[in-house]
Amino acid sequence: MLKRFVPILLIFVSIASVTGSSSLAKYLFSMLGPEGMTAWRLFFSSLMLIFIFKPWRKPVSKQAWKYIIVYGLALGFMNLSFYYAIERIPIGIAVAIELTGPIIVAMCSARKLLDFIWLAIAIIGLVSLLPIHQANSSLDPYGLLFALCAGSCWALYIITGRKAGQLQGSSSVAIASGLVCCIIFPISVWHNGMAMFSLDVLPLAFVVAVLASAIPYALDVITLPRVSALTFSTLMSLTPVLGAISGFIFLEEKLTCNQWISISLIIVSSIGTVLSIGHKPKIDSVNQ
């Protein structure tokens, strides 16, 4: 009985690691800003991924390059947009809005009325977070916009990552991460100057990369073969809750009752989408 719950526990540890890294990254924004944290996260993550997947072992075809480049840009700007978002709005809200990206991708295979009901619930939750009424007037509109941008990049990341993986295998993520790091890192150095290389910051930036990438990737390798894709996706839908809890514990971010309701609607939509899609053999095409 205990063995059945260990993979689920590890999934929660993986989610907690990612959300905890967001709280630490936000704490470091005063020293590096979102650009600097994105640059160091990509740098350290790229080193780990290159070491693990050894992309030089397999030549990259011209067709694969097209998808890997877009995949890398989506990965980089997803991270950058998300950090810009949590600089301005609570982590739990940013994660919930970002989650709409995968929901939209999943809905590309929608066939039943129920599928569109889940989408409508997500839209209601998203709209209720917008600062168009008094309850959410305190939310920075730019923060919400960046969170939506992160969700859009996440959707593009899923689409191009799937194709890049089919053409190049697991090494595609290492190549993509390295490429976008070469773009964002110089921009960050130009923006932050020598503060980028402060010895007070580097160890913590490395910890962020480990929490956000190394630990989740390692735990996913352990858990994915032991749980169904349906179970894994459903549990991942709870990320906004742990994000909000992390923000409250480490950053004293408090959400209003209406904001919790909005987040809950997006989570319900995500879980409902997973359950609905889970009864189908697979998503035939994300472009339908």
More confident call, 127 vs 20: 20
pLDDT digits (tens, 9 = 90+) for 32-91: 899 999 999 999 989 988 988 899 988 988 899 999 999 999 999 999 999 999 999 999
What pLDDT score does 223 carry?
A: 79
- pLDDT-based confidence at 280, cuts 50/70/90? very low
More confident call, 169 vs 224: 169
If you average pLDDT over each of 57-66, 142-151, 199-208, 257-266, which comes out highest? 142-151
Q: How far is CA 144 from CA 15, 83, 149, 276, in A?
A: 22, 12, 9, 28
Q: Alpha-carbon distance 230 to 278, whole Å?
A: 6
Q: Alpha-carbon distance 78 to 66, whole Å?
A: 18
Residue 286 has pLDDT above 50, yes or no: no
- pLDDT-based confidence at 285, cuts 50/70/90? very low
pLDDT digits (tens, 9 = 90+) for 98-125: 988 888 887 776 677 887 888 889 888 8
Residue 3 has pLDDT above 80, yes or no: no
| Residue position matching structure tokens 């960046």 | 146
Residue 227's nearest CA partner among 5, 17, 14, 12 is 5
What pLDDT score does 272 carry?
A: 86
pLDDT digits (tens, 9 = 90+) for 184-232: 999 999 988 888 998 888 999 999 999 998 888 778 767 766 777 667 7
Least confident range of 166-175, 215-224, 237-246, 275-284: 275-284
Query: Which of 58-93 are b and which e, b meaning 16 or more Cβ less than 10 Å from the residue's Cβ?
Result: eebeeebeebbbbbbbbbbbbbbbbbbbbbbbbbbb
Per-residue pLDDT, averaged over 147-153, amounts to 95
What pLDDT score does 16 carry?
A: 92
What pLDDT score does 144 carry?
A: 92
Residue 164 has pLDDT above 60, yes or no: yes
What pLDDT score does 284 carry?
A: 37
What pLDDT score does 2 carry?
A: 58
Instruction: Specify burial of residue 4 (Cβ count, 10 A radius: 0-12, 13-18, 19+).
Output: exposed
The CA-to-CA distance between both ends of the chain, in Å, stands at 41
What pLDDT score does 89 carry?
A: 94
- pLDDT-based confidence at 27, cuts 50/70/90? very high
Question: What single-letter amino acid sits at 218?
Answer: A
If you average pLDDT over each of 34-38, 160-164, 272-276, which comes out highest? 34-38
What pLDDT score does 230 carry?
A: 67
